[in-house]
A and B are shown apart, each in its own frame.
Chain A
Amino acid sequence: MTAARIETSVADGSMRIALSGEIDLANAAAVEEEIREAVSHQPTTVSVDLTDLTYMDSAGVRILFALASQLQALRIVLELIVPPDSPTRRLVELSGFESLAALRPRSH
């Protein structure tokens, strides 16, 4: 069974969601649910850290798109942390996600 880990932390009104492990069709719904529950505190910014995510396919990208539209409605800024050499960088680029959120090489 595909396994992913979600860790959240809040600092200065900004929320960081660090994903690790793998995301595919088998666990996408569970991951999405967990992220949705985590983002209930109305932060000003949400940054999703994909640095330690070793695999993600279209099921994972779908979560990011859903999150983006949800946050947009709430006027919360979304950014993705994806280092240039990280395993999911290419997929994020291919998906055209840059139009929805800033891609950062590391958290600041």
Chain B
Amino acid sequence: MRYTPIMSTPGEPSNMSGIDDYRLRRIGSVADTALAHLDVEDLLVELLDRVRELLAVDTATVLLLDSSSQQLVAIAARGIEAVVRQGIRIPMGKGFAGRIAAEKRPVIIERVDHTNVLYPTLQEHGICSLLGVPLLSSGTLIGVLHVGTLATRRFTDNDVGLLQIVADRVALATQSRRAEVERVAAAVLQRSLLPARLPVVPGLELAARYVPAENGGVGGDWYDVFTLPSGWLCIVIGDVVGRGLAATDVMGRLRNALRAYALLGGDPTEVLGRLDQHVQHFEPEMMATVLLAMFEPSFERLHLSSAGHPPPVLALPDQRAALLDVPSDHPVGVPRGLRRRGTTITLPPGALLCLYTDGLVENRDTSLDAGLERLCESVVAGPVDTVCAKVMARLVGDDPPGDDIVMLAVRRQDSGEIGPLDLVVPALPWSLRDIRVAVRRWLSAADAAPRAVADLLIAVGEACTNAIEHAYGPGGGTVTVHIELQLPDVLATVRDTGRWRPPSGEGRGRGTLFMRNCSDDLRIDHGPTGTNVVIRRRLAGQAPQ
């Protein structure tokens, strides 16, 4: 089977001996299933051994072109392994291998000296004669294959022809194996960059789906959900133009850059503006669409900005879902210098927002408009996992996806669905802010009146401050906060496991006064195993009794 194509290769030497013929067949069989498990480097080593046998040479080397640096990199060698170990890189046009690559034709050196090779390594290993041919894939140079001998040798046309046949085989095998390795690497990278599990955020429900394209390799679609120290929650969905490992690689960098820029503060337009500058400077060839949505700590309002990304779908309780009217600005990486626009929406309890990449709504059989229409029909203000399942079933069905698909659903929980809030934080002053952020968010989700929120923040804050200041010695400890609804009240419990020391110093008893005045009922138990503070406060606005 594999013998025939070799014999029919154009330009093949006609006067091959029987032994050459047999050996050439061994080269031809590089696609053997026995070799199928090898990675590119191991496969090349195996091939190079067969080349050495075929041409009776001492060394054989493969250099592949690194397209970004336009340098040839030695990646496999037999008889002269040092070239790989030393990480030898040869610029196009320079030295022996560089000349073969630049001219895309065979080169023979009968006597190696410093004028015709770039690195001394070949000379140091006593190589006298060299023959090299280009590795071509559909006419494009992908590398160089060369062989060398320790004794002077005059390479014949027959040798050149044989080596070129081998080179074509090597090019083919390398290219397909590389493509496969890249595909797998991109898929692994993509999986590793997408959140393994979404953060658990009291008051919000989150679900996501990611399906890579079935042929043509994974792309640069991504999503990300993270909180900021300020208590804001960021939701990102993006799509890097392009496919394969390169797109996935850029996606990873953009994801991290966006996280870092979000940490600097500012609204979505500012964060996307910074990302835009980043892409234009560091990834000048790249372009990506990104939608950034930032929840205020209370989750009541959502700030959005879109860099050319399809608009999200908003479903309000008991209403038909519709595309959200977010102005679509230029993608990141496009030098426009225009101001980015932002939108702020109110997300009432129970409302659901669906973000996605174009692969979900655009495919071979469906127009974009039809896809969006179908998406709006499928999205409801319901449980996020059910919505994801329904959307994927309606829009993707049994078809193999031709493009990456990412969808993310976020729903603000109704006050009735709010589970208890449980926090365990180190008994240190800087925990107080984190506690406030979490409590404020939980109370907002529970639909507490502003007055009740303010009172509970003070009461819980003072209880925690007491625990932080008085419960533990230098060894430290933890403070536990538990808050639950006992309608019409909120019940907050603050616990430490230390030994309570009475407050000392002027004005130190004021905290307890505030706690008492900010709650409808307050119980403080100092026991041998710690202090337990239970605060009861009505969810509604009226002042405590």
A interface residue numbers (CB < 8 A to B): 1-2, 22, 24-26, 55, 57-59, 61-62, 65, 87, 90-91, 94-95
Interface pair A1/B433, CB less than 8 Å apart: yes
B401 at the interface (CB under 8 A from A): no
Sample of 16 more A-B contacts, CB < 8 Å, known A1-B229, A24-B465, A55-B461? A2-B429, A22-B436, A24-B429, A24-B433, A25-B468, A25-B469, A26-B430, A55-B457, A57-B465, A58-B507, A58-B510, A58-B511, A58-B514, A61-B507, A65-B507, A95-B510
Residues of B145-168 whose CB lies within 8 A of A: none
Query: Which secondary structure characterizes the binding site on chain B?
Result: helix
Interface pair B454/A90, CB less than 8 Å apart: yes
Complex CA gap A94/B517 in Å reads 8
| CB-nearest residue of chain A to B515 | A58
> Given that A65-B507, A87-B454, A94-B514 are known contacts, is A58 also in contact with B465, CB under 8 Å in the complex?
yes
Q: Chain B, 16-46, contact with A by CB distance < 8 Å: what is the 0/1 string?
A: 0000000000000000000000000000000
> Given that A57-B458, A57-B465, A87-B454 are known contacts, is A25 also in contact with B510, CB under 8 Å in the complex?
no
- A residues within 8 A CB of B462? 57-58
Least Cβ–Cβ distance between A72 and chain B, in angstroms: 14
Interface pair A57/B461, CB less than 8 Å apart: yes
Residue from the set A22, A24, A57, A91 with the largest chain B CB neighbour count within 10 Å: A57
- B residues within 8 A CB of A94? 513-514, 517
B6 at the interface (CB under 8 A from A): no
Least Cβ–Cβ distance between A70 and chain B, in angstroms: 13
Interface pair B510/A22, CB less than 8 Å apart: no
B88 at the interface (CB under 8 A from A): no
- B residues within 8 A CB of A87? 454
Number of residues of chain B lying within 8 A (CB) of chain A? 22
Q: Chain B, 499-543, contact with A by CB distance < 8 Å: what is the 0/1 string?
A: 000000011001101100100000000000000000000000000
Interface pair B513/A26, CB less than 8 Å apart: no
B211 at the interface (CB under 8 A from A): no
Complex CA gap A29/B436 in Å reads 19
Complex CA gap A54/B529 in Å reads 35
Interface pair A24/B432, CB less than 8 Å apart: yes
Least Cβ–Cβ distance between B451 and chain A, in angstroms: 8
- A residues within 8 A CB of B506? 65
- A residues within 8 A CB of B454? 87, 90
Complex CA gap A50/B135 in Å reads 74
Least Cβ–Cβ distance between B517 and chain A, in angstroms: 5
Which listed residue, B432, B507, B517, touches A62 by the CB 8 Å rule? B507
Interface pair B465/A25, CB less than 8 Å apart: yes
| CB-nearest residue of chain A to B503 | A58
| CB-nearest residue of chain A to B230 | A3
Complex CA gap A91/B513 in Å reads 10
Which listed residue, B229, B507, B514, touches A57 by the CB 8 Å rule? B514
Complex CA gap A55/B464 in Å reads 15
Complex CA gap A2/B432 in Å reads 8
Complex CA gap A90/B436 in Å reads 18
Complex CA gap A58/B436 in Å reads 15
Residue from the set A2, A26, A58, A61 with the largest chain B CB neighbour count within 10 Å: A58
| CB-nearest residue of chain B to A2 | B433
Complex CA gap A2/B469 in Å reads 16
- B residues within 8 A CB of A91? 458, 514
Least Cβ–Cβ distance between B520 and chain A, in angstroms: 15
Complex CA gap A87/B513 in Å reads 18
Nearest 7 CB-CB pairings of A with B: A26-B429, A58-B511, A25-B429, A58-B510, A2-B433, A24-B432, A57-B461
